[in-house]
Amino acid sequence: MWGWEELALGVRRLWRETPPYPTMLETELPSLILYGRLLSAAAGTATVALLYAVGRRVGGARLGMLAAALLAGNYLHVRDSHALKPDVLLAAGVLVSLWLLARYAAAPDRRSAAVAGLSIGLTMAIKYNGILLLAAAYLAGVLASPHAGARRLVPAVEVVLCAGVALATFVVASPYLVLDLERTRQTFRFSTMAVYAARPALGRAFGYHLAVSLRRGSGLAMTLATPLALVVALRSRAPMLVLAA
């Protein structure tokens, strides 16, 4: 986000005098927020188009149109696309990462694994939720494994490479998580308290998201259709659908 703001200020300097970024934070914060919201809107719109392209590649134009329409009408996606938040960029990163993992699962090699790891690392740097993509990377390795039985569950060298590239990219893109460990610990403790309040019970937060956030954010029809969609996707042989599920 900082890089985008600097780019926006650089473009603005082409026709008017513009102070440096730290000064803008103190004197023209609304302008910086506006520039950030422009990025969110562009990313949210681009994600809809990208989802159509992926859906068309996986299951034809009808699947692409259906997927894009569902995302375009999703309340949470529309809401976050107008705000200065990382969530829309996270959604785009998840989509790109899953597609790259699906390509690896279809034709496994070290190059495709490394590229997928790079995408996962950048997505993790956008927002920590992206770490869940490491589970998808492991599943992609299982799908790509030439072995049968329990041997499929042993991570291949490419999967280890993917995870290593992802973690290295994450650290490089978020260096102060390591350089300022005390602030990292403080932020982690605060975030944990904010999510779990006084009682660190998993059901307290995740149960609420399942019962309230999913229905309110995606709509009742889509929420009710989700279990069926998961079953259909998991029974599919298309790596992208299995990984997305």
Instruction: Choose among 37, 125, 32, 128: nearest CA to 81.
Output: 37
Q: In this structure, is residue 149 part of a structural domain?
A: yes
In which band, very low, low, confident or very high, does the pLDDT at 197 lie, cut at 50, 70 and 90?
low
In which band, very low, low, confident or very high, does the pLDDT at 56 lie, cut at 50, 70 and 90?
very high
In which band, very low, low, confident or very high, does the pLDDT at 187 lie, cut at 50, 70 and 90?
confident
Instruction: Among 174, 202, 226, identify where a domain stops.
Output: 174
Least confident span in 14-18, 92-96, 101-105, 164-168: 14-18
Structure tokens at 198: 């006084």
**Per residue in 113-162, pLDDT tens?**
999 999 999 999 999 889 999 999 999 999 998 888 888 888 889 999 99
Instruction: Among 27, 59, 85, identify where a domain stops.
Output: 85
Average pLDDT of every residue of the chain: 88
Domain shared by 6 and 76, yes or no: yes
The residue ranking higher by pLDDT, 13 or 194, is 13
Q: In this structure, is residue 225 part of a structural domain?
A: no
Q: What is the pLDDT of residue 220?
A: 79
Domain shared by 110 and 135, yes or no: yes
Instruction: Among 85, 117, 152, identify where a domain stops.
Output: 85
The residue ranking higher by pLDDT, 232 or 45, is 45
In which band, very low, low, confident or very high, does the pLDDT at 203 lie, cut at 50, 70 and 90?
low
Domain shared by 73 and 3, yes or no: yes
In which band, very low, low, confident or very high, does the pLDDT at 236 lie, cut at 50, 70 and 90?
confident
The answer to whether residue 97 scores a pLDDT higher than 90 is yes
pTM across the whole model: 0.87
In which band, very low, low, confident or very high, does the pLDDT at 196 lie, cut at 50, 70 and 90?
low
Give the per-residue SS3 of the chain.
Answer: CHHHHHHHHHHHCCCCCCCCHHHHHHHCHHHHHHHHHHHHHHHHHHHHHHHHHHHHHHHCHHHHHHHHHHHHCCHHHHHHCCCCCCHHHHHHHHHHHHHHHHHHHHCCCHHHHHHHHHHHHHHHHHCHHHHHHHHHHHHHHHHHCCCCHHHHHCCCHHHHHHHHHHHHHHHHHCCHHHHCHHHHHHHHHHHHHHHHCCCCCHHHHHHHHHHHHHHHHHCHHHHHHHHHHHHHHHHCCCHHHHHHC
Q: What is the pLDDT of residue 198?
A: 52
Q: What is the pLDDT of residue 202?
A: 53
How many of the other CB atoms lie within 10 Å of CB of 101? 31
Domain shared by 2 and 75, yes or no: yes
Buried b (16+ CB within 10 A) or exposed e, 4-23: bbeebbeeeeeeeebeeeee
Q: What is the pLDDT of residue 101?
A: 96
Q: Which residue range is the domain that position 161 belongs to?
A: 86-174
Domain shared by 80 and 121, yes or no: no
**Per residue in 61-87, pLDDT tens?**
999 999 999 899 888 899 999 988 899
Question: Rounded CA gap, 245 and 139, in Å?
Answer: 11
Q: In this structure, is residue 125 part of a structural domain?
A: yes
Count: domains in the chain: 2
Domain shared by 23 and 48, yes or no: yes
Domain shared by 157 and 79, yes or no: no
Instruction: Choose among 82, 46, 52: nearest CA to 70.
Output: 52
